[in-house]
A = this chain, B = another copy of it.
Amino acid sequence: LVIPPRVVTLLSDFGHRDAFVGSMKGVILARCPTAQVVDLTHEIEPGDIVGAALQLRYAAQYFPAGTIHLAVVDPGVGSERRPVAVRSGGHFFIGPDNGMLWPAVAGAGSAEPFELRDARYRLPDVSATFHGRDIFAPAAGHLAAGVPIESIGPRCSELHTLALPEPTVKEDRIEGEVLWVDRFGNAITNLSPSLVHGLAGGGFRLVAGTTRIEGPSSHYAAVPIGRPLVVLGSMGLYEIAVHRGNAAEMMGLCRGSPVAVRALP
């Protein structure tokens, strides 16, 4: 019988200049030398809980059952927010209970939260500034090594939730916004095909700033180089792109920019 190694994913706003993430990996591997440790991203903007929540929810679903997702965007470190580990749909989520974990946990199944209170599963000295290393990484390492989540801390009350921006359906249009701008400058909206289909089954016009785009296009190269398009992106949401260009820069879009779709006449 071969037990496959446990996967531990890491997501944070720690960046790559400091050895913060490296020290967390050391703590995990000291407790579970066979863990598969995978970075989701560490380039979340400092303190951006909503951005972290979006990326965690997006990425977590591609990992195998049993994966432990450790996420730390934690501007309230050292204050009263609870450190938690959550079991949901066969996955585990570890981090501060500040809403960041909520969308991914809810996407995975029904949440069973536990508070990371037991000193045996923390580093001996817990700093006031880096619970990623001192509380969350030891918990992830012990979970990966086979310690049951029930042993790591007591079952606790429900998680803080986080409301992601939702579109509004009006009589003749749907109003949404840009959720995220990716590395290529694609602006990912909060408009899903199922929502838009009710209004505009046969194609739509999207307005973002001063630009109007007829959509959807089937793929980036379906329009000439340099032209804007709307395409169903890899997060299952419509995104605004420019063929071989940077839509966010060219159209002045950023997170929160309003977008609206109407049916084609």
CB distance from A155 to the nearest CB of B (A): 26
A118 is an interface residue with CB less than 8 A from chain B? no
**Which among A57-65, A106-114, A170-178, A197-205 touches the partner chain?**
A57-65
Closest chain B residue to A67, Cβ basis: B26
Asked whether any CB of chain B lies closer than 8 Å to the CB of A129, the reply is: yes
Q: How far is A18 from B78 in the complex, measured between Cα atoms in Å?
A: 28
Contact A78 B129 (CB under 8 A): no
Digit string of A56-86 for contact with B (CB within 8 Å is 1, else 0)?
Answer: 1011111110010000000111110000000
User: Quick one: given A76-B221, A221-B79, A234-B129, are A22 and B38 in contact (CB under 8 Å)?
Assistant: yes
- Tell me the minimal C-beta distance from A57 to chain B in angstroms: 10
Given contacts A19-B40, A77-B220, 6 further A-B contacts (CB under 8 A): A16-B16, A18-B41, A18-B182, A19-B59, A79-B220, A127-B234
3 A-B pairs with the lowest CB-CB distances in the bound complex, closest first: A78-B219, A26-B62, A130-B234
Decide: A43 and B29 in contact? CB cutoff 8 A.
no
Residues of chain A at interface, number, CB under 8 A: 71
Min CB distance A30 to B, Å, is 4
Proximity string of chain A (30-46) to chain B, C-beta cutoff 8 Å, 1 when within and 0 when not: 10011011111111001
Contact of A34 among B4, B29, B61, B79 (CB under 8 A): B4
Question: Is A196 an interface position by the 8 A CB rule?
Answer: no
Q: Is A258 an interface residue (CB 8 A)?
A: no
Chain A residues with a Cβ under 8 A of chain B:
4-5, 7, 9, 11, 13-27, 29-30, 33-34, 36-43, 46-47, 55-56, 58-64, 67, 75-79, 127-130, 133-134, 180, 182-184, 218-222, 231-234, 239, 244, 246
B41 touches A38 (CB 8 A): no
- Complex partner residue of A11 from B19, B33, B182, B184, CB under 8 angstroms: B19
> Assuming A4-B34, A22-B9, A183-B46, is B62 touching A127 (CB within 8 A)?
no
A244 touches B47 (CB 8 A): yes
**Which one of A18, A26, A37 has the highest number of Cβ atoms from chain B below 10 Å of its Cβ?**
A18
Question: How far does the Cβ of A134 sit from chain B's closest Cβ, in whole Å?
Answer: 8
Q: Specify the chain B residue showing the minimal Cβ separation from A15.
A: B183
Task: Give the distance in Å from the alpha carbon of A78 to the alpha carbon of B219 in the complex.
Answer: 5
